[in-house]
């Protein structure tokens, strides 16, 4: 009887090991989720898809543009809708993701080309995005852009 119990226990353990990765793949790890959301963020910015920002900015998000101006969620979305800031291209040269439980910090190095209020700009930017899981959904609570000095 003891041998049967050990066999049953071994089979249960093996079945868990086979099923667990499938469950993780469906939702993915927090890092995988943030990686996918980061890709969507870059695309949304390029395509001026304000619905992404409406969905993923926390209502009290702190947003700081490369010029140092502080924006609320509504102000940033209005800025995007107005066309004041346009991006022709953005190339992610570096991305680092750090997950701390229900918080994730993403640091980017991005090469941009576009225009702000009709004035062209090109250059490299550092962007830090802080995501927090709220009620089961990832939300951007802080977003800051820093221009790198021209070389």
Residue 23 domain flag: no
Domain that holds residue 126: 29-147
CATH number at residue 136: 3.10.450.50
- What pLDDT, on a 0 to 100 scale, did the predictor assign at position 66? 86
Cβ-contact 41, 57 below 8 angstroms: no
- What pLDDT, on a 0 to 100 scale, did the predictor assign at position 149? 87
- What pLDDT, on a 0 to 100 scale, did the predictor assign at position 27? 66
What is the per-residue DSSP string for 63-124? EE-TTS-EE-HHHHHHHHHHTSEEEEEEEEEEEEEEEETTEEEEEEEEEEEEEETTEEEEEE
- What pLDDT, on a 0 to 100 scale, did the predictor assign at position 12? 35
Number of compact structural domains in the chain: 1
Residue 13 domain flag: no
**How confident is the prediction along the chain (151 residues), in pLDDT tens digits per residue?**
555 443 433 333 333 333 333 333 336 899 999 999 999 999 998 888 999 999 999 999 999 998 899 999 999 999 889 988 888 888 999 999 999 999 999 999 999 998 888 889 899 999 999 999 999 999 999 999 999 987 6
- What pLDDT, on a 0 to 100 scale, did the predictor assign at position 6? 39
Residue 41 domain flag: yes
Residue 124 domain flag: yes
- What pLDDT, on a 0 to 100 scale, did the predictor assign at position 50? 95
Residue 9 domain flag: no
- What pLDDT, on a 0 to 100 scale, did the predictor assign at position 1? 53
- What pLDDT, on a 0 to 100 scale, did the predictor assign at position 117? 83
């Amino acid at each position: 009887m003891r041998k049967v119990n050990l066999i049953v226990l071994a089979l249960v353990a093996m079945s868990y090991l086979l099923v667990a990765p499938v469950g993780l793949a469906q939702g993915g790890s927090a890092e995988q989720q943030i990686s996918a959301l980061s890709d969507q963020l870059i695309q949304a910015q390029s395509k001026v898809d304000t619905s992404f920002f409406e969905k993923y900015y926390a209502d009290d998000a702190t947003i700081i543009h490369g010029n140092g101006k502080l924006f609320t969620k509504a102000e940033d979305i209005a800025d995007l809708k107005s066309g004041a800031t346009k991006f022709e291209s953005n190339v992610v040269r570096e991305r680092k993701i750090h997950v701390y439980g229900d918080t994730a910090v993403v640091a980017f190095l991005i090469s941009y080309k576009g225009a702000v209020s009709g004035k062209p700009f090109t250059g490299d930017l550092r962007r830090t995005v802080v995501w927090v899981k709220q009620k089961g959904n990832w939300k951007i609570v802080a977003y800051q852009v820093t221009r790198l000095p021209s070389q």
